[in-house]
């Protein structure tokens, strides 16, 4: 009997314990349902779109396809080479202009070296040009040879002038020396003449001796005057030759300066031609205007003819802002507005691969739209995905066309108990109004 009572008592205790557990669980649920707020909002579905327009790749002059570097659907970086057009004529024209630029740069360096009195020109400005070693050596060699010839010609002319000047100086010096000797001889002759005149006055010498001495003194005086004149003429000629040398140097400098200005002006004009020729040649290399995905590639084989302005391909930007276009039910239109925060789920990936992405409502259509296929009416809303979420490490790529589901937060919150009691309270209120 005692054992039976114990079993009954123990069974009642288990039932009581289970009842308490259920009561506590129900109380905890009601507490959570009545106190923890849940975000209120609306759900909408749609797809990812590209906010920026597609970039159409075209060519200004057109040409023949030489090489295709990409394929349909390939992702490319900005500036990547997409296609190369044959540019034989453009290449030849550009190479010819490069040679002209090289020749003019070498000429400028030659004239600058002549103007500055350098030993030889520096042809380093030719190095950046796309020029073969043979062409560079040929152009630099010709200008160096011309430089040496011009310098030697001027040096030879100055040497001739200097030789003549030194000769004039030598003649002048000799004549001056001879004139000095004649001056001393004249002094002696005059002294002798004076002595003989005194003796003739005293009847100690003949008068013809006096006349002879007078003629001798006059001859010496004439010779001295001639020598002095020739010495002055030689000095004047030496000065004129020195001035002539200065004039030759000045004339050479002026002509070199004029040639240098003309060469620099011509060089600037030809460099502009080179830029234009290089631009034409570079346009033969078609590059991606933006980073993105290649679509609608119009040429798949070599030797295809690209007409001027013809669309070659399109590039969908990958760095464009990710925007979702979603459809909102007409009954939810009052609950959505620009600036509201949203949570976006990319349905193309599993939930553990693609986290929910934060975003913002950036636009809502003003008019109601209708799906022609289903006949359902809707409002179109644009949702921009947050840039920080787009760049989250490990997040898969998002491309246009992927389906999305968006939850738009209304800014209000309700508890679970509110949602559970809403049908009951609504029925109660309707019943009271009916009563």
159-210 pLDDT, tens per residue? 888 888 877 777 777 776 676 676 776 667 666 666 766 676 666 666 676 6
Q: How far apart are CA 136 and CA 199, in angstroms?
A: 93
Helix, strand or coil, per DSSP, at residue 100: helix
- CATH 2.40.50.100 maps onto the chain at 55-85+288-313
* pLDDT in the model for residue 265: 94
* pLDDT in the model for residue 309: 82
Q: How far apart are CA 382 and CA 48, in angstroms?
A: 10
* pLDDT in the model for residue 4: 52
**Distance between alpha carbon 21 and the CA centroid of its chain, in Å?**
76
Q: Hey, CA dihedral for 264, 270, 272, 278, is it positive or negative?
A: negative
Among candidates 18, 4, 45, 20, which has minimal Cα distance to 406?
45
pTM over 0.85: no
**Cβ-based neighbours of 76, under 8 Å, separated by 6 or more:** 70, 82, 288, 291, 292, 293, 294, 315
**What would the two tokens of residue 167 be?**
């000769």
* pLDDT in the model for residue 268: 93
Span 35-51+321-434: which CATH code? Answer: 2.40.30.170
Give per-residue pLDDT as tens, 325-363.
Answer: 889 888 888 888 888 888 888 887 776 666 778 888 888
Give per-residue pLDDT as tens, 401-425.
Answer: 788 888 887 655 555 555 555 565 5
Helix, strand or coil, per DSSP, at residue 194: helix
Q: How far apart are CA 124 and CA 127, in angstroms?
A: 6
* pLDDT in the model for residue 94: 80
Q: Give the residues of the chain that fall short of pLDDT 50.
A: 1, 5, 8-10, 388-395
CA dihedral 186, 191, 193, 199 (to 10 degrees): -170
- CATH 2.40.30.170 maps onto the chain at 35-51+321-434
Architecture per CATH, domain 55-85+288-313, reads as Beta Barrel (2.40)
Describe the chain by its helix, strand, coil percentages, rounded to 5.
55, 20, 25
């Amino acid at each position: 009997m005692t054992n039976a009572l114990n079993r009954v008592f123990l069974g009642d205790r288990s039932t009581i314990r289970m009842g308490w557990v259920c009561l506590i669980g129900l109380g905890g649920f009601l507490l959570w349902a009545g106190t923890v707020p849940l975000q209120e909002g609306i759900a909408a579905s749609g797809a990812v779109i590209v906010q920026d327009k597609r970039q159409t790749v075209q060519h200004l002059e057109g040409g023949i396809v030489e090489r295709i570097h990409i394929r349909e659907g390939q992702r490319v970086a900005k500036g990547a080479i997409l296609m190369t057009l044959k540019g034989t004529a453009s290449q030849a024209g550009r190479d010819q202009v490069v040679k002209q630029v090289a020749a003019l740069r070498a000429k400028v360096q030659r004239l600058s070296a002549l103007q500055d009195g350098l030993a030889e020109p520096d042809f380093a400005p030719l190095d950046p040009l796309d020029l073969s070693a043979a062409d560079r050596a040929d152009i630099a060699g010709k200008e160096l040879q011309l430089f040496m010839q011009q310098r030697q010609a001027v040096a030879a002319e100055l040497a001739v002038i200097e030789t003549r000047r030194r000769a004039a100086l030598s003649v002048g010096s000799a004549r001056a020396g001879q004139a000095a000797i004649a001056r001393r001889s004249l002094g002696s002759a005059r002294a002798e003449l004076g002595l003989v005149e005194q003796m003739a006055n005293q009847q100690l010498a003949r008068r013809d001796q006096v006349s002879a001495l007078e003629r001798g003194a006059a001859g010496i005086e004439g010779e001295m005057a001639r020598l002095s004149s020739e010495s002055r003429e030689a000095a004047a000629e030496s000065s004129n030759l020195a001035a002539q040398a200065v004039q030759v140097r000045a004339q050479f400098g002026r002509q070199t300066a004029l040639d240098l200005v003309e060469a620099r002006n011509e060089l600037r004009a030809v460099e502009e031609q080179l830029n234009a020729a290089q631009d034409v040649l570079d346009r033969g290399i078609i590059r991606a205007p933006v980073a993105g995905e290649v679509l609608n590639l119009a040429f798949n084989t070599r030797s295809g003819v690209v007409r001027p302005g013809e669309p070659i391909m399109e590039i969908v930007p990958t760095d464009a802002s990710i925007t979702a276009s979603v459809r909102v039910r007409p009954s939810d239109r009052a609950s959505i507005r620009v600036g509201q925060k949203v949570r976006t789920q990319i349905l193309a990936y599993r939930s553990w691969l693609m986290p929910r992405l934060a975003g913002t409502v950036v636009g809502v259509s003003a008019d109601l739209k209708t799906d022609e296929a289903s006949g359902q009416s809707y409002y179109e809303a644009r949702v921009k995905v947050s840039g920080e979420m787009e760049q989250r490490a490990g997040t898969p790529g998002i491309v246009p066309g992927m389906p999305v589901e968006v939850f738009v937060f209304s800014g209000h919150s309700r508890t679970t108990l509110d949602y559970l009691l809403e049908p009951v309270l609504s029925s109660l209120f309707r019943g009271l109004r009916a009563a």
